[in-house]
Amino acid sequence: MKRIFAAVGAALLCASGGAALPPQTVDQTLIDGDSVPPKLSAFGLFRAGTSELLPDLRRYSLHTPLFSDYTEKQRAIWLPPGELMPIRNGGRLEFPVGTVLVKSFGWPDVNGGRPVETRLLIRRVSGWVAFPYIWDADGKDATLALGGRRVPVTFKSPDGETYAIRYAVPNRNQCKECHSLNGEIVPIGPKVGNIVFEDSKRDADLASAITLIAPYINPMPQWDDPKSGSVATRARAYLDVNCAHCHNPAGSASNSGLFLRWTDDPTGVNFGIGKRPTAAGRGSGGMDFAIAPGDPDHSFLIYRLESTDPGIAMPEVGRSTVHKEGAALLRQWIAEMPKASH
């Protein structure tokens, strides 16, 4: 198994695969340095005066993404020229110093489809740092918002329902809350079992490597595609992506004793099944169990997912609406569990 991972890792040469860009196109010195530019354009990751990513960034999607108020997300990775992005044991992507993970958030019917915000996660010598940027009204640049902000937006969800919310751009401390592992900031989404690189000639090595290694690391299904997995496997994937970045033994919610990782946590008490509240406060809604097998209406995991009350809702940050479709999947999963015998 180690030989398989080593061979794949050696194949992932992730320097620019097409024609070399002029050195001034992306400001690697700024990426590697300690300063925080007030404007997103300073990094040179987007075409000047637009929210269009440069072609040398590696675009990707996820089988099961984090829910963020029905936003559509544009994801990409910038790697320093000549650097590697190997796959380590367990399917972990290792990003070199100088990497930038770019994620833009928006809705098709808001601002002409332009993003509302873009978040950068930058790997510097001192570790990962997170910077949120809010796009200016004209869509030509974005402004640093270290303190976060509420942005009024009105949009339609995929089922046609209209929402008017104050969309929450997180502050840096909230970025740390979700991206924390053993007190350090780390990426969440781009894991081999969940990532899909664009099918282009340049990324053919990445796509083939992911395809080769995926069977050995339990690739995640697509949460809303019944053809990709059972209700149980899709529900677990949903919980991993939406909850497990905090709910793991080294995460910010470790004191809850509720651990929801994709394959690392067995579906027992610590996965919430028959688990009584420990740090839920009023988030338990007076219910006895996080997951009451066969009874989603009396499972406070569902109660919290279907709430927007700041003292009850889970996840605590990142959404102002209820993901009805995700909650419905988890309800079905719990309803199909055999009820506990008494």
Higher pLDDT, 5 or 200: 200
List strand residue ranges (DSSP E) for 63-161, in order.
72-78, 87-88, 92-93, 100-106, 117-124, 127-135, 142-144, 149-156
Q: Ranked by mean pLDDT, which of 87-101, 140-154, 188-202 comes out on top?
A: 140-154
Residue spans of the domains in the chain: they are 2-211, 222-335
Q: Output the pLDDT for position 324.
A: 96
131-168 pLDDT per residue, tens: 999 999 999 999 999 988 999 999 999 999 999 999 99
Residue whose token pair is 């808001």: 110
pTM exceeds 0.75, yes or no: yes
Both tokens of 285, joined, read: 């809604």
- Mean pLDDT taken over the chain: 83
Both tokens of 205, joined, read: 């090595």
Greatest Cα-to-Cα distance within the chain, rounded to the nearest angstrom: 70
**Identity of the residue numbered 124:** R
SS3 at position 334: helix
Is residue 36's pLDDT more than 60?
yes
Spatial neighbors of 185 by CB under 8 A, at least 6 apart, are 121, 127, 128, 129, 130, 175, 176, 179
Distance from chain centroid for Cα 160: 24
Q: Output the pLDDT for position 209.
A: 61
Q: Output the pLDDT for position 224.
A: 96
Q: Output the pLDDT for position 18.
A: 43
